[in-house]
Structure 1
């Protein structure tokens, strides 16, 4: 076994995802994965303690669904993952937000889960095909969910500083980045998408036209906002047609009530206010050119129990990238998974 962390000057990322045939050996011998395991475990513990302290109850959720929440919009590159189970066609869940919206109505109070989500796009430095997802749904609006998301990230930063500061320092080279975020107390600036576009949309590389007439901010643009804010920053009110159909439109504009929290590698948390009623949801499905048949139960729920809800999802491995100072998300999971491949263990 490796020596105690105090004897190690700096633990470097093993990048064993580059050599899948050697990955098992690296898992068994690299101190990186021992630290990763314990930091991840404490992050999960802090997640549960935060949500319980804020009145949310844990929901057990399946990993299959017939109603995917991606593709996320006309310009999205997020792909669903289809599976055949006992001859039946389903999807591996990209998110179980829709079930949280239902469970919120069953419980009459906020609910959350932490589980695995699946995406069909290629794996790269900031995307996994299987990742850990912490999602919550509340009765409330965009401001309510931004407040909750800010306090959640603040809580995680403080908890990991307290419980894993020395271990994180052995990997990241220090904890000043966590200390700086914790010092903000969850008070993070906001900027609207259209304001960011007015400020530097004329400069190349910061925005991309992902479909005709549909703009999205790039990683380069996200990193610019993080630098200018000197830490976490919310970008809000994204173009309506670049966002999922279920996000509530902003009245009188072509934007919607959505927000991304940017930190470290870029977006780490996505939040939004949901369409309230059956008719509002149906109109959005139509405008986004999404077949309503797969969402009949969701529409029936909105008709039977219209309610103003909001929620967010945190990608845990992407948050860990920032915590550990990692440059590739594939170093932030012990499990190598790539779409279309079978990889052991």
Structure 2
């Protein structure tokens, strides 16, 4: 008798197997017990027919508590009525670990309650599906960049300087010196690009931003590619190709999970069609104001309503290009014919999910970069290593950052970013 996983049930129809599972829910009549089971790979139903098992096994099936762990032995059958398509007719079961008074019962619970029990809430079907999609996006990320000739480098989490300004940093002491939790791996990725040509970093980043929106986390993961000898237009082509690759990989490998989430796959397929539209910041302001729904002053950053309108207008991810210099970080390359904008782009996702990528061509002139660092109120001495990248064999280079959780939230169709990471860190939450 073979021990299998639920996800492999399709390969063992009419075979007797053994599976290690947890009980998510149950119901029973006088003659049949229906057990809803999971094992970390999928969810399906186990049926215990009273006339086909011992009285002891049937009573155990009727009385076993939610989230007890079990070994079940039985025969796999095709079940066209269920979303999964298969079930197991159980002839024997063994309790491995009992569970009593499981706090998350099959009823409505408040968000705070569920987040307080996040360590258990991860076991539920929707959270399972969302985080399986997250895993596929991570897998596809490594695959994509390997195919494109990138290597992964690891940027430090503890840094002595800020890439995005000092107001959103978590400060700590580093042997009597100031240190900060990383806001971004980008500056270090630029050093990597000068050594290896094309690199990407992938790791946790931290923003001490006191925001409570459905798009913001305090701790989140960023994918940050950096490319030498690359101008902005070339970078945009990599960005859209990467995003389309992620969506297609989820469609190819997470069909079951997307069904659990009720995600419209036809809409996702639309996001694999390239190229993505491009619009300048100037034209975006004009489009917003002409809609009659907004009154945007040139120079303002866009908020959630504006980003939502722009992406919905195109019904696909859209690049908004060349934002005002005053609202962007110091490292972005100035526009060749204008001194009020920089060469950059944000990729806005449709369906109300907003920015999922921010990128730019990087400044290469040492004097300009030094002046911009000073203008940002930063200590130029802290950035000498970064300026060195321009002193010794500078080249045009570009890069971008994709927020993993924002991408997961968008692709899964979840309503809040907290669902896209196993243990979210929010303004009011650091437990569990």
TM-score bucket (shorter structure): 0.7 to 0.9
Could you say which residue in structure 2 is the equivalent of 1:75?
none
Is the aligned partner of 1:190 residue 2:278? yes
Partner Cα distance (2:358, 2:204) in 1: 16
How many residue pairs match? The answer is 331
Please point out which of 106, 119, 125 is paired with 1:31.
125
Per-residue Cα deviation, 1:49-75 (whole angstroms, up to 9, x for no partner): 111111111112221111221239xxx
TM-score (norm 1): 0.88
Structure 1 unaligned segments of length 5 or more: list them. Answer: 73-77
Structure index of larger Rg: 2
Could you say which residue in structure 1 is the equivalent of 2:342?
256
Please point out which of 121, 135, 138 is paired with 1:41.
135
Contact in 1 for aligned 2:361/2:399 (Cα 8 Å): yes
Could you say which residue in structure 2 is the equivalent of 1:67?
161
Q: Which has the higher helix share?
A: 1
Could you say which residue in structure 2 is the equivalent of 1:124?
213
Is the aligned partner of 1:145 residue 2:145? no
| SS at structure 2 position matched to 1:220 | helix
Root-mean-square deviation over aligned CA pairs: 2.6
Q: Which has the higher contact order (CA 8 A, sep 6+)?
A: 1
Is the aligned partner of 1:52 residue 2:146? yes
Contact in 1 for aligned 2:115/2:121 (Cα 8 Å): no
C-alpha displacement of 1:86 = 4.5
Partner Cα distance (1:232, 1:309) in 2: 24
Partner Cα distance (2:245, 2:431) in 1: 35
Partner Cα distance (2:377, 2:178) in 1: 22
Contact in 2 for aligned 1:258/1:272 (Cα 8 Å): yes
Partner Cα distance (1:141, 1:328) in 2: 34
Per-residue Cα deviation, 1:84-126 (whole angstroms, up to 9, x for no partner): 245442111110111011111122x100021111110124310
Please point out which of 174, 178, 183 is paired with 1:89.
178
C-alpha displacement of 1:230 = 1.0
Show the 5 A alignment for 1:154-233: 154-182=244-272, 184=273, 186-201=274-289, 206=294, 214-233=299-318
Contact in 2 for aligned 1:205/1:220 (Cα 8 Å): no
Question: Structure 1 stretches (4+) deviating beyond 6 angstroms?
Answer: 12-15, 202-205
Q: Which has the higher strand share?
A: 2
Structure 2 unaligned segments of length 5 or more: list them. Answer: 1-21, 25-36, 45-81, 85-106
Per-residue Cα deviation, 1:263-303 (whole angstroms, up to 9, x for no partner): 04100011100001212211322444443232122112322
TM-score (norm 2): 0.71
Cα separation, partners in 2 of 1:325 and 1:154, compared to 1, 3 Å: same
